Amino acid sequence: MNQSVLTRPFLRWLWLVLCWPLLVQAAEPLPSWQDGPSRRAIVEFVRTVTAKGSKGYVAPAARIAVFDNDGTLWSEQPLYFQMLFALAEVKRLAPQHPEWTTQQPFKAVLENDIQTLAGSGNEGWLKIVYATHTGISTQAFLTNVRSWMAKAVHPKTHKPYTEMVYQPMLELLAYLRANGFKTYIVSGGEVEFMRAWAEKVYGIPPEQVIGTTFFGEYQYNKGKPVVMRLPKLAQNDDGPGKPVSIDAVIGRRPIFAFGNSDGDQQMLQWTAAGTGKRFMGLVHHTDAQREWAYDRDSKVGKLDKALDQALAEHWTVVDMAKEWRHIFPADTQ
């Protein structure tokens, strides 16, 4: 008998022994998560609410999951990325506004005067946002955001902003959807800024992106209908604004919510107050080497009161340094 025939079963057995750990890992959900308390809590929750016949079973129509964006699905340091876009837009639009060379806070932006810009406070930032986000049609704004996203890079990592999304959270979104969940973004960020790229990056369509909004006005000029973005806030989707938006847009109370800051506390409270099985999670930025470490004293993404409530009520708090094998998609390559 041919010796090679005799060795084939052995070789197949050897291949299986050597590759089995990798095959098991690939089949397991959330491969970028360590086998720690957060991953176990997520998997157990999903198994419970999707198991027909279990006391915790939730019908697919009610499997609503909501996620903050900044600091939860992608990075937010040293400044919210939407704000970095706004600063870049001021410089791009400056030739059309010569008056900005003497007007604050635009003068500070053009001169890279960080101290004066910081001193302008919320009023100054609102002027910048109005100047760069409104007075144009929705379609024109989407074009501006996509153009910036296509070439802009983060000042520290030099990665495109769409590559600074969290690989573990991408896996979580996919895992939930594979188990019959409908995933929404509920963010303090401006809604059209996120809609410009969220479907491509997160797999979340525009109608499932909820955020801060401006009033709009329909105009019909020379046979062309447009929706113009007006310099007036319609809804500030942060803090207590998040449950209001969820109630108005979704019409169902989520059973799963993830955030990372005090601005998400009310969304998690709203989710926790429902009946039946609930999941509330916070991403805790503890990894100064691979990302950033910040919480209670941070000016961006402050996590203080929400962290206290999470610990007191046993919500899931993800220790990024200990519980995430990878941070960004590129880390898995």
pLDDT over 70, % of the chain: 92
Pairing mode of beta strands 224-235, 182-190: unpaired
Question: What residues does each domain of the chain span?
Answer: 31-79+160-213+235-332, 82-133
| Better-predicted residue by pLDDT, 6 or 333 | 333
For residues 203-215, give the mean pLDDT.
98
Other beta carbons within 10 angstroms of residue 316's beta carbon come to 19
pLDDT at 24: 42
HSE-up (13 A, CA, CB side) for residue 251 = 1
Q: What is the arithmetic mean of pLDDT over 58-67? A: 98
pLDDT for residue 1:
45
Task: State how far the Cα of 242 lies from the Cα of 211, in Å rounded to an integer.
Answer: 8
- For the CA atoms of 220, 225, 229, 232, the dihedral, rounded to the nearest 10 degrees, stands at 40
Q: How far apart are CA 200 and CA 7, in angstroms?
A: 48
What is the Cα–Cα distance from 42 to 30, expressed in whole angstroms? 10
Residue 28 banded pLDDT, cuts 50, 70, 90: confident
Of 1-10, 242-251, 262-271, give the lowest mean pLDDT range: 1-10
User: Token match 């969304």: residue?
Assistant: 267
Backbone φ and ψ for 266, nearest 5 degrees, come out as -70, -35
Mean pLDDT of the chain: 94
Give the residue-averaged pLDDT of 164-179. Answer: 98
Name 299's Cβ contacts closer than 8 Å, sequence gap at least 6. Answer: none
Of 292, 321, 304, nearest to 38 by C-alpha is 321
Residue 9 is predicted with a pLDDT of 56
Q: What is the pLDDT of residue 233?
A: 97
CA-wise closest residue to 307 among 331, 258, 299, 315: 315
Pick the CATH number of 31-79+160-213+235-332 from 1.20.1250.20, 3.40.50.1000, 3.40.50.880, 3.40.50.300: 3.40.50.1000
| Interval 5-24: pLDDT, tens | 446 555 565 555 555 444 44
What backbone torsions phi and psi does residue 279 show, to the nearest 5 degrees?
-130, 125
- Look at residue 332 in the predicted model and tell me its pLDDT: 87
Among 245, 184, 240, 243, which Cα is nearest to 213's?
245
Q: How far is CA 167 from the centre of its chain?
A: 11
Residue 18 pLDDT: 58
The encoded tokens of residue 224 equal 């062309």
Strands 256-259, 279-284: pairing kind: parallel
| Cis peptide preceding 105, ω within 30 of 0 | yes
